[in-house]
Structure 1
Amino acid sequence: MELEKQDEIIRLLKKIEKNTAPPPKWKRVVYFIFTHLLTIIVIIITAYLVWKMYSLLGSVSDKVSSIREGVSELLTIPEKWKFWE
């Protein structure tokens, strides 16, 4: 009888230990990834959009500078102003 109670107590202690022990590292990593997945996706999308906007602004700046060069070239050559003659 006493031995059965000890076995039952040992089983209960093992069950308590199993339920209170921290999960394995891989389970914690998976849990972290899934709980922060939305944040990670938002950060990646934001970085992509910033990169695209930076490249777009760079190409617009190049086009504006080429237009400025063309206009300044037109203004410096007086013969090109006489196109109406």
Structure 2
Amino acid sequence: MKTTTVENIAPGTSAVITGIAGDPMIKRRLMEMGVIPGSTLKLIRWAPLGDPAECQIRGYKLSIRRSEAAMITVSPEGEM
């Protein structure tokens, strides 16, 4: 199974969240917002200056910083 981070996937790509690394406080906040392993995340677009990213998770849109996107590991949809 090939994994990468949200920071490295192309806009328009869907992937399955496999984990969240980093600071436990940030990890908890992301999980409270619906970034949960096993959920499908679609990267919609990056802001014009490269930060933040607009993602679709669990039926709603969420903006996350590039630093947060680098902590969320994903695998291409269908490979989980």
TM-score by length of 2: 0.16
Which structure is higher in RCO with an 8 Å CA cutoff and minimum separation 6? 2
Greater percentage in strand: 2
Computing the radius of gyration from Cα coordinates, the structure with the larger value is: 1
TM-score by length of 1: 0.15
Greater percentage in helix: 1
